[in-house]
């Protein structure tokens, strides 16, 4: 959706290393915003974005207008079942329907062999994988690890809206994720960990926690314990969180 940062350019770098021709689409999709104010405030830096993509060696940039992608309101709706009713889906109803519609449109128009997505949007990745599998899209979904600032904050187009004070406060997301992972791997119960993290957020002024959940990475099924025996798959579990830092809503996750 534009307002590019180094995380997006990392996707481009991966695409260039694994394909012959790289297309980047930029489109702030109105159907995935359930908050009109959020859509209005979403950063738009098209000229700067195109310059960065040119320097990164992208072969083509697709910049459709809203009227081009939605000549009339879409009547079709996606229902991703339990996958869309937890985490982001629980707090942003209709969001993943908008994601499914726009990504399917872009897949049909661009017809990529591979599509590169960031792990920061873990639930979006799961939704797109489900859509690709269920509707037999001929595209391979490639997930690229989350890009972070030096202090650990996940790179996001929304970070640019943070005040200097809120930028420091935002570190509570990554700090809480790393603390929770450490505690779980040390044998603490998820109930203990979740309670400790909730208390940590309650003490932080200007930050409002929406959720802090332990899930199975692929299905996003919420769980209350992890199995760290040899039978567990690598990164089988993830801790996911969302919080308002000032007026800006941020998300992050960490695999176990």
Query: Residues within the annotated binding site for (R)-pantoate?
Result: 32, 124
Q: What is the DSSP letter of 108?
A: H
How many CB atoms lie under 10 A from the CB of residue 230?
5
Which residues line the annotated binding site?
Answer: 1-8, 32, 118-121, 124, 155-158
SS3 at position 239: strand
Give the C-alpha separation, 109 to 220, whole Å.
Answer: 29
Q: Give 188's strand partners.
A: none
H-helix or E-strand containing 252?
Answer: strand 248-255
Give the C-alpha separation, 164 to 166, whole Å.
Answer: 6
- Name the residues annotated as catalytic: 8
Sign for the CA dihedral angle at 187, 168, 14, 103 comes to positive
SS3 at position 231: coil
Q: What is the DSSP string of 170-216?
A: THHHHHHHHHHHHHHHTT--HHHHHHHHHHHHHTSTTEEEEEEEEEE
Which residues line the annotated binding site for beta-alanine?
Answer: 32
């Amino acid at each position: 959706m534009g307002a590019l940062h180094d995380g997006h350019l990392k996707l481009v770098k991966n695409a260039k290393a694994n394909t012959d021709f790289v297309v980047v689409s930029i489109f702030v999709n109105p159907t995935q915003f359930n908050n009109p104010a959020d859509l209005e405030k979403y950063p738009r830096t098209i000229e700067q974005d195109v310059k960065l993509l040119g320097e990164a060696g992208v072969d083509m940039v697709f910049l459709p207008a809203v009227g081009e992608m939605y000549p009339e309101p879409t009547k079709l709706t996606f229902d991703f079942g339990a996958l869309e009713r937890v985490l982001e889906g629980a707090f942003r109803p209709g969001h993943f329907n908008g994601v499914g519609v726009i990504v399917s449109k872009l897949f049909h128009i661009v017809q990529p062999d591979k599509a590169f997505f960031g792990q920061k949007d873990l639930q979006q990745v799961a939704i797109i994988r489900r859509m690709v599998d269920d509707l037999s899209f001929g595209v391979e979904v490639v997930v690229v690890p989350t890009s972070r600032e030096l202090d650990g904050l996940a790179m996001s187009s929304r970070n640019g809206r943070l005040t200097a004070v809120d930028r420091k406060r935002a570190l509570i997301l990554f700090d809480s994720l790393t603390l929770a992972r450490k505690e779980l791997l040390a044998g603490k119960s998820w109930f203990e960990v979740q309670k400790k993290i909730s208390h940590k957020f309650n003490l932080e002024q200007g930050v409002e926690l929406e959720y802090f959940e332990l899930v199975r990475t692929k299905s996003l099924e919420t769980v209350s314990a992890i199995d760290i025996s040899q039978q567990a798959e690598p990164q089988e579990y993830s801790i996911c969180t969302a919080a308002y830092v000032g007026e800006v809503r941020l998300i992050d996750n960490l695999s176990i």
